[in-house]
Structure 1
Amino acid sequence: MSSQLIKVECPLHNSEAIAINLDPNIQLPEMLQCIYCLVGSTSRSIVPLRDIKNILENFVTLQQQKSDEINQLKRTYLMQLLDNLCKMKQEINNFIDNGINIIQTQLQIDKQEEEEVMKNVESEVIGFNQQVKQIIEYQYSYCQQQKLLNELNWTQPLSEVLQQINNFEGIQNCLDLLRDLKNEYQMKNEINIVGKLLLIESDPEILRGSSSETPKLNIVCQQHQKEIIMIDMNENIEKSMRLCCIECMPETYWSLTKCKEKWKTFEQKKRAYLQQQIFDMEAQYEQIRDQNKKIEQQIIEQLKGVRVQFEDILAINKRKILSNINMVNEDWINLSQDDILERVEILIKNEESQNQMIHSEYQQFSDYALKLLQEQVKELKVQQQNLYDNLRSTLCHSQEISKSASSSDQNCLNDIYYQINEIGSSSKNTQKLQELIQIQSYDIGSDLIKKNQRKENDSAFSSPKNNGYEDIQIDKENMDFEEKQPIQYQIISKYQQVQNCYAISVNFDQTIMISGCSNDIAIWEFNNGKIKHIQNLQGHSNQVISLQFSVDKNEFVSGSTDKSIRYWQLINNIWLCKQVLLGHKRQIDCLLMSNNNHQIISCSCDKTIRIWRKNQQSLWFQVQTLTNHSAYVRCISLSKSQNLLVSCGEDKMILIWELNKSKVWNLKQSIKNDDFGYRICFMDDIKIAWQPRSQNKTYFYEYDTKTNQFELDKHHIMLQYSSEGYQNFFPSIYNEQKQVLINKHGQFVYIMKMNESHSLEISQVINIGHYCNYGSLTNDGQFLVIWDEKSKCLQVRQATF
């Protein structure tokens, strides 16, 4: 095809065609262009003829890849919709059948009672006195009143059935899936394959004339009356004096061509930023909407519960009052001596005192009901406050995620320069930090009090590079620790990363590190604690918040707030996204890869844990969904043997799962707590460390062979007070080789070391200075890497003893 096109002539100049213009706005004959057509051309759609064949081949490949992704996306969502609708159909049919059975049963009971009444009326002939007695008993009999109250008891189960049918959660889930499918489909179709190929394949030699062409302006210099050809970029020059001619000769200037190119880059950046903000905004608002819906539903259910319980209390009081009324006609012959004396004591009182006694007896019933109602309202207020706290946490998290993206690059640079000056001026005068930490061993042992004195000096570092990464030199001579601890992690280097980093992971041999970099994944060379930025991997359309390397291969999985999981492999020294795993309906909070690399476990804010395994074609597919959590699932951890899985979330539950012989995860134990759990970690097969959201303690669970259950140990470790930053993106890590537990709580990162008595104790407290901090530990436990929102840099710390 290429040889045939070279022989074609340009229809305008009758000269040999050397390129083709793929602009869709021009006619087919005009697409062939010669060297004369290219002079002064600024079109980016021009491609050399010799490259057309390569572009066509790449186009077919990318188009097929895009088509496969779209088909997989549609199949995934259609299968979920089909599954949801089938379940809803079965549930609604069951509810309707139950309601029909309740009504039919009640109709039969009513018919039988009517027949019995008619038989009694026809068979009995009673006198006047007997009729009066029946009327009195009907009016005051406790049994009769109880019967009247129970006549409508059947309405309660029928109301519950109808309320279940009125639950639109299943329908809402289907609507959410349809909306997500539409958004994902639009995002994939917005990818311009031809434009992407043109940017890659365009020949710079052919297009060189377009970059050298100076734009023409109908403006002349105010001072020399000559053509404007450059822009004065000096910040101190007035705006009106920036346009310069050849005679102005400013010290710092840009040509008009450069300004035009820079402006085009700015517009592209602005367009990409605004498009991304739309997707980010939808994702953030989606979480907030779910929280609002959750608050609305729970408040309605709680208020409904208060109303029903108060009505039950009123019914009980009514029965008590009716019981007292029935006692009015009680015959004195059945009274004991004490009963008669009690009545006489009442009779000898005056009428006012008797009225007061009657009122007081009734007041007791009323006060009891109001007291219960007051307690319920108080409990309701506490529960609502917890719901509002969750919403506030979601809002704060959304604000933190979008905060850095809302400022320009120049503002980011100004912030960094400010931090440089602040750190540089304060590093010489850093005061010693003395912290008294009360430690309670989680194993058998007495309480210990250790004084942990820490002094860390962060030296000044140079201004950041344009790409947002910078190697920051650390003054090692100023690093001094007053008191040696069993193990501490000292800073050995810092690297500036302006972009948000919510997840970090290091490969099995400590040679490669990956970190979240806003929507991208940064690849770093890791060499004995020194890191060097290599490249960024693109693919996710929103913040990357979870990363997990394989235990023995150069492959990893990434999770994002865009609800997708991506599987990456290093092939011929090139990182490739081999598969996109779709299924979760909310952000991916935590990811695990099993030791044999045959299983991926993911948890999400959609309240599910999903199990993925490889098929015969080495493709990941979902094999199981665990739905026992009733709220966001925040963290998961595998035991040492890989046969136990523990999870925790915002439903205040800790769930422990066991893998059976058929490779199916079954629920083994449920533990109800008083607080949310954002971090949980298996230390081996029998011990679990759990960090509550808002309690300044670390708790431990240990397996009891007698009960075959995990039991809460009475000992725990006290932590420093922290009232903010309930984020879960820094999972707790236990390293068996160093026997240390890395546990974040607020702005502090705790290093907990196993002592000789096999008890954990705090070995170091690292005050990061900001609750938005995220990190990871190398497999050998030698290096700890942390990024935080305040300094916006990666700290590399090395273990010392």
Structure 2
Amino acid sequence: MQIRCTQADHQNQQIIGVCIDITCQNQRPYCHFCLTLHVNHLPMLTPFNLLNEWIYQRIIRVNNAYNNIQELKVSLDNLMNQFYPYFNYNIHQISELGLSQIDRLIAGLCQIEDCEKVLFLQLKPLIEQVKSTINDILKKTKNQSNLKENINNQIQHNINQLNLEYSGPFQQLKQNIKPIKFELLKQYSIKQGERCNSVAFNKDCSIVAVGCESLIKIFEFKQGILQQTHILNQHKHGVSALYFMKKSNQFISGDYKGFILIWASNHVNQWICSQIVRQQNDIINCLILNNNEDIIISSSNDNTIKFWTKKNEWICQQTITDHKRWISQLSFNEKQNQIISCGWERLILVIEYSEQVKKWMVIQKIPVDCQGLRLCFINDNLFTFQPKKGNLIYVYEMNSLSKSFTKTKHITVNQGDDTYQYFPQQYIKSKQFLVSKHDKYINLIRKTDNDEFQVEYSIQFGSQALFGQMSDDGEYLITWDDLSKEIQIRRCIEE
């Protein structure tokens, strides 16, 4: 960074760093001649080569503060929702109510009155304290009016840019979208008594791998028909995750004991295990690769996320330990610079690759009100999260200013309490729908205009023990459930 000092008598010296002392009254960017002005706080001088990382860490803190405020806002909104039924209540309508309606009205008002006598007395001083703290923060933050004007201008600019860049292609895409349903190809179902936790398609949907207990069955797949070609028995424990590479004829598999196996097809179409790695001590729940296929990311019941890179062999380069319970699913964004994760604790992590330190770093911890077993990036600014219990899918969007994710809406699906963590969420970009398993259902959810979502088609099964995957083109869905004990194939039909 070539910046010259503008202080008088400093001979246009190059700026070499910045003072980060909060009490400093001098010019913060400094040159060699400026050092005497900062003699009382020399330890607070930061060279330019360290400035980016210093700013990066403070941005993370700002994001965390923003998320805490959002969490408080959600709590206040939930509290306000309790009062909405009574706002501007028309007292003259009581005569038109039935006995059960009057009973619920009186019970609700009594509960609020009881809360007012006890809990609201505790809440009032806390509210005053929060208001006072906010006023202090605002007093210390200068140029608020200019900042607000700049923010509004930037938002409008972003909106205009989005309209210019995407209106044409998006309108064309909308015209091509047709209603869908999935037809069961019953005649092609395969009886399979052993449990199948994982299914994976290869890059052109010509091969399907299915994890059947400790075996991996390889099928040739053509026009909805599965023809078994190989059985791989190198795993000694149940296979829990499969992932086909897109650029090469390889796939990876993980099992109940933390082993990851790398498979490659040789010139005679035999599948050979080229490497076995193990640095995780429990079930491998999810395996994903980046587009360049030089990074494997794995998550496990040992509460860790591991990043594997290819040298001569795959080696573990980094471990994330911020989760304190089992980690169910991982998902890459489109730019491949962020990963999200969730599991059996009430937390979503947003992990980003830092070019400065050449490592993956947790940049946001999103507290949630429930456990969640599935999540999926829709694009760089949008992802979905399936809570374990209830009838909602949460939608998170990136704030264009803070660059952090917040929950902005939800999708209503079937009621359920899911206990099985396999069968990851999947977004089919070409058809603009999300595949999301919840309890005994597979929901096909269409993304509509303005990033809205609606359930377009649901498939009900007789069991929660339901696993599978959809082909990348959205044409076929392959599942196994422990009621039918069949590998079933469904074909997409556009109406």
> Shorter-chain TM-score category?
0.5 to 0.7
Find the counterpart in structure 1 of residue 331 from structure 2.
637
Indicate if the aligned counterparts of 1:694 and 1:726 stay in contact, CA closer than 8 A.
no
How far apart are 1:499 and its partner, in Å?
Answer: 1.8
Q: Percent identity?
A: 30
How far apart are 1:485 and its partner, in Å?
Answer: 7.5
Indicate if the aligned counterparts of 2:297 and 2:307 stay in contact, CA closer than 8 A.
yes
Amino acid in structure 2 at the alignment position of 1:592: I
Find the counterpart in structure 2 of residue 550 from structure 1.
245
Find the counterpart in structure 2 of residue 762 from structure 1.
455
Indicate if the aligned counterparts of 1:679 and 1:731 stay in contact, CA closer than 8 A.
yes
Whether 2:266 is the aligned partner of 1:571: answer: yes
How far apart are 1:520 and its partner, in Å?
Answer: 0.7
Whether 2:438 is the aligned partner of 1:742: answer: no
Indicate if the aligned counterparts of 1:486 and 1:753 stay in contact, CA closer than 8 A.
no
Whether 2:289 is the aligned partner of 1:596: answer: no
1-structure distance, mates of 2:358, 2:436: 31
Give the number of the structure whose alpha-carbon radius of gyration is greater. 1
Find the counterpart in structure 2 of residue 490 from structure 1.
183
How far apart are 1:622 and its partner, in Å?
Answer: 0.5
Whether 2:305 is the aligned partner of 1:609: answer: yes
Counterpart of 1:752 (choices 439, 445, 459) is: 445
2-structure distance, mates of 1:502, 1:797: 18
For the residue of structure 1 that corresponds to 2:334, the secondary structure is coil
2-structure distance, mates of 1:696, 1:530: 34
Counterpart of 2:365 (choices 670, 677, 695) is: 670
2-structure distance, mates of 1:630, 1:755: 36
Indicate if the aligned counterparts of 2:413 and 2:455 stay in contact, CA closer than 8 A.
no
Q: Structure 1 regions of 5+ residues with no counterpart?
A: 1-367, 373-483
For the residue of structure 1 that corresponds to 2:261, the secondary structure is strand
Indicate if the aligned counterparts of 1:678 and 1:691 stay in contact, CA closer than 8 A.
yes
Q: For 1:108-155, what per-residue CA distance to the aligned partner results, in whole angstroms no more than 9, with x for missing partners?
A: xxxxxxxxxxxxxxxxxxxxxxxxxxxxxxxxxxxxxxxxxxxxxxxx
How far apart are 1:754 and its partner, in Å?
Answer: 2.0
Structure 2 matches for 1:692-703, cutoff 5 A? Answer: 692-703=387-398
Whether 2:273 is the aligned partner of 1:580: answer: no
TM-score by length of 2: 0.62
2-structure distance, mates of 1:530, 1:664: 44
Find the counterpart in structure 2 of residue 52 from structure 1.
none
2-structure distance, mates of 1:510, 1:649: 29
Amino acid in structure 2 at the alignment position of 1:545: S
How far apart are 1:718 and its partner, in Å?
Answer: 1.3
Amino acid in structure 2 at the alignment position of 1:542: H
Give the structure with the larger strand fraction: 2
Counterpart of 1:507 (choices 189, 199, 202) is: 202
Larger relative contact order (C-alpha < 8 A, sep ≥ 6)? 2
Amino acid in structure 1 at the alignment position of 2:414: Q
Indicate if the aligned counterparts of 1:524 and 1:535 stay in contact, CA closer than 8 A.
yes
Structure 2 matches for 1:443-522, cutoff 5 A? Answer: 486-492=179-185, 493-522=188-217
Q: For 1:366-386, what per-residue CA distance to the aligned partner results, in whole angstroms no more than 9, with x for missing partners?
A: xx9xxx9xxxxxxxxxxxxxx
Q: For 1:579-633, what per-residue CA distance to the aligned partner results, in whole angstroms no more than 9, with x for missing partners?
A: 0111001110111011111010000010100000001x2x100000000111111
Counterpart of 2:221 (choices 526, 543, 548) is: 526
How far apart are 1:695 and its partner, in Å?
Answer: 2.2
For the residue of structure 2 that corresponds to 1:720, the secondary structure is strand
For the residue of structure 1 that corresponds to 2:293, the secondary structure is coil
For the residue of structure 1 that corresponds to 2:194, the secondary structure is coil
Give the structure with the larger helix fraction: 1
Whether 2:493 is the aligned partner of 1:800: answer: yes
Amino acid in structure 1 at the alignment position of 2:321: T
2-structure distance, mates of 1:623, 1:589: 19
Find the counterpart in structure 1 of residue 320 from structure 2.
626
2-structure distance, mates of 1:664, 1:561: 28
How far apart are 1:756 and its partner, in Å?
Answer: 4.3
Indicate if the aligned counterparts of 1:499 and 1:518 stay in contact, CA closer than 8 A.
yes
Find the counterpart in structure 1 of residue 469 from structure 2.
776
How far apart are 1:757 and its partner, in Å?
Answer: 4.7
Structure 2 matches for 1:708-719, cutoff 5 A? Answer: 708-713=403-408, 715-719=409-413
RMSD after superposition: 1.7
Find the counterpart in structure 2 of residue 318 from structure 1.
none
For the residue of structure 1 that corresponds to 2:274, the secondary structure is strand
Number of equivalent positions: 316
Indicate if the aligned counterparts of 2:182 and 2:490 stay in contact, CA closer than 8 A.
yes
For the residue of structure 1 that corresponds to 2:463, the secondary structure is coil
How far apart are 1:533 and its partner, in Å?
Answer: 0.9
Structure 2 matches for 1:194-233, cutoff 5 A? Answer: none
How far apart are 1:491 and its partner, in Å?
Answer: 1.2
Counterpart of 1:720 (choices 414, 432, 441) is: 414
TM-score by length of 1: 0.39
Q: Structure 2 regions of 5+ residues with no counterpart?
A: 1-117, 123-176
Amino acid in structure 1 at the alignment position of 2:299: C
1-structure distance, mates of 2:210, 2:377: 24
1-structure distance, mates of 2:451, 2:302: 38
1-structure distance, mates of 2:239, 2:442: 22
How far apart are 1:553 and its partner, in Å?
Answer: 1.8
1-structure distance, mates of 2:274, 2:358: 25
